[in-house]
Structure 1
């Protein structure tokens, strides 16, 4: 039995699928992951085969793909939909289910492939804020104009559905027609379905029940990381007091070049009397001088690292937020796009850190945020919340998915 997992996005979209893949494998399923080609080495490292989808995500995000430098999601939707569909069909032998997250057009292609193959499909949200609910508004969509008269959440979600139809409806239905499937109305709800998975921790990212959706909230899909930290990083950690980690992951930071941003964050941490540990990431953070209180790392085991730092400053991705919360380490979130403001709000509400005011930190603004994060009360609260974070989300999701497959097979047999 093969399960196909589909995502087109950054590391934060791929890691949860890796967590689910490993749990499915442990329960006896064969797994294929369809994701950007950037992640071949990462997936090979855990013996999960990759079927590449689309362009390398970092090259696309930074304008390095020829002809796509100024392309928005709607401009490349047709290609993403088709390539995701083709990736699933290419590994469809023995396919029993398709699970999708990440880019909306890619998830639409995955849904179409599942329908064409006649197998169950499950959409997964990595944030409650993406799922329609009367309890919260939708994340703002770049370029969308909201009429001043529309202020209630249901009305905003109706506009969100209309906007999705306008952006992607014709493209997705043209692709469906090309593979012999009828058109659908309500593209957003077709892709999301009325019974999605929600791969977030119930304390960090709770879901409020609503009659419109039967959401299965499982907890975050965490991939256990047993890698040791590099020897030079271990030496830096051992050489003094706990540093503050600053890294913005797969996020080019708006409004600042690498040198200016690096200087701002290093100076901010130094004002707090702390050493600095920079995660280079897509923001390309670098050293600004030769002082020995600062160190730069690339991709490392954050599950191990975050337990050994005084605070984590990051972009507000769901995975990084969960990892820091699980470590019991206070956080400062500098949200840029999408669901990142949501996570900044949750961290602030829970008292385990704070959201930075605005997407571009200065030495002064980040220092002010760090004063909150490094306060003893914040650390104590972070330690309490850490004890509540679920670690079995991927296992629960795998069991629910296998049960869904079993029920579907039984229904087919009965027919």
Structure 2
């Protein structure tokens, strides 16, 4: 049995798919991942074949694709839809199912590929806040204007669907026509389907049953990471008290330059009497002086690292939030985009940390947030919640997927 997994996004969109791929393969399935070319090494380390999709995601996000610096959303969406379609079409014929997540235009192209080939399709969200529900409002899309009289969740989701239609409907249907498929109305619901998977931990990101969707919540898809920490990092950790880790992953920070952000976060951590461990990431964080209480790392095994820090300051991606919670590390989330404000809210509600007010931290604002995260009661609550975080989400999803396909010859999310 062969399964194709598709995602176009940052590491937070790719890493869970690798976790699912590893579990599917352990259960006897053949797996291929379609993802941005940036992640060739990650897939190679997991011994999972990669089919590259579109442009390198970091170059696109930072405006480094020649000729795309001033491209509008419509042009990028049209190209990405077509490129995802072609990439998946090249490997999905005859497969048992296509599982997809990530960027909406790439999802639309993947959905069309599955339909064209007659292959079952499963949409997956890594955060509850992306899924229409009467229990929560939608995330506001860029450029979307909400009339002040519209306050009910269902009405807000209806407006969200209309806005998605405005943004992507024409593009999606133009591409569908080009490959011989009929037009669809309601592109959001067409792509999301009525039966999505939700790969989020039930404690951190709970789903409440709603008439709008039949959601299967599996738990987060975690790829076990057995890599040792670098020798220099081990030496730094051993040289003093637990540091505060600050890293913003695949997020170029808004509102300030890399040196300004670096200075603000280092000074904030020092104000709390702690050593600081910087994850350079796309924000390009770096040291501001030659003091030995600061150490800079690149991409490392966060599953191992977060068990050895006093707190984690990060952007609020679903994967980083789950990894920190699983490690029992108090968190400060500095949300930038997308579902990150949702995770900041959940961390605050659970008492395992706090959300920073706004996307650009100053030494003063981050120091105030760290004071909450480093309080003994927050640490105790984080340790208690850590024991409730599930680690079997990818295994559960793999078994469900194979069972569904095996029993019916189709996945649950075709409509």
TM range (shorter): over 0.9
Is residue 120–residue 408 contact of structure 1 (8 Å, CA) maintained in 2? no
User: 2: distance between equivalents of 1:5 and 1:123?
Assistant: 10
Is residue 9–residue 102 contact of structure 2 (8 Å, CA) maintained in 1? yes
68-77 or 328-337, larger mean C-alpha shift: 68-77
User: 1: distance between equivalents of 2:179 and 2:325?
Assistant: 44
User: 1: distance between equivalents of 2:236 and 2:410?
Assistant: 57
User: 1: distance between equivalents of 2:48 and 2:339?
Assistant: 28
Describe the superposition over 1:86-112 as per-residue Cα deviations: whole angstroms up to 9, x where unpaired.
111111244110011000010111111
Query: How far is 1:208 from its partner?
Result: 0.7
Report matched runs for 1:8-407 at 5 Å.
8-407=8-407
Where 2:97 maps in the other structure, the secondary structure is strand
Query: How far is 1:408 from its partner?
Result: 3.4
Q: 1:70 to 1:341 in 2, by over 3 A?
A: farther
Query: How far is 1:122 from its partner?
Result: 0.3
User: 2: distance between equivalents of 1:152 and 1:73?
Assistant: 29
User: 1: distance between equivalents of 2:288 and 2:142?
Assistant: 34
Where 1:95 maps in the other structure, the secondary structure is coil
User: 2: distance between equivalents of 1:214 and 1:288?
Assistant: 50
User: 2: distance between equivalents of 1:346 and 1:187?
Assistant: 29
Is residue 237–residue 243 contact of structure 1 (8 Å, CA) maintained in 2? yes
User: 2: distance between equivalents of 1:228 and 1:183?
Assistant: 51
Query: How far is 1:2 from its partner?
Result: 1.2
Query: How far is 1:243 from its partner?
Result: 0.2
Where 1:228 maps in the other structure, the secondary structure is coil
User: 2: distance between equivalents of 1:74 and 1:240?
Assistant: 52
Query: How far is 1:373 from its partner?
Result: 0.2
User: 2: distance between equivalents of 1:187 and 1:82?
Assistant: 16
Query: How far is 1:67 from its partner?
Result: 2.0
Where 2:292 maps in the other structure, the secondary structure is coil
Is residue 249–residue 279 contact of structure 2 (8 Å, CA) maintained in 1? yes
Q: 1:120 to 1:289 in 2, by over 3 A?
A: same
88-97 or 110-119, larger mean C-alpha shift: 88-97
Is residue 120–residue 404 contact of structure 1 (8 Å, CA) maintained in 2? no
User: 2: distance between equivalents of 1:37 and 1:353?
Assistant: 34
Q: 1:43 to 1:339 in 2, by over 3 A?
A: same
Q: 1:237 to 1:200 in 2, by over 3 A?
A: same
Is residue 165–residue 186 contact of structure 1 (8 Å, CA) maintained in 2? yes
Describe the superposition over 1:164-195 as per-residue Cα deviations: whole angstroms up to 9, x where unpaired.
11111111111111111111111000000000
- Aligned structure 1 segments of 4 or more residues deviating by more than 3 angstroms: 70-75
Where 1:91 maps in the other structure, the secondary structure is helix
Query: How far is 1:410 from its partner?
Result: 7.9
User: 1: distance between equivalents of 2:94 and 2:174?
Assistant: 27
User: 2: distance between equivalents of 1:259 and 1:212?
Assistant: 46
Query: How far is 1:409 from its partner?
Result: 2.1
Structure 2: gaps of 5 or more residues: none
Is residue 312–residue 324 contact of structure 2 (8 Å, CA) maintained in 1? yes
* Number of aligned positions between the proteins: 411
Describe the superposition over 1:31-80 as per-residue Cα deviations: whole angstroms up to 9, x where unpaired.
11111000011101110111001110000000101122244544311111
User: 1: distance between equivalents of 2:380 and 2:303?
Assistant: 19
Give the TM-score taking structure 2 as reference length: 0.98
User: 2: distance between equivalents of 1:122 and 1:371?
Assistant: 42
Query: How far is 1:407 from its partner?
Result: 3.0
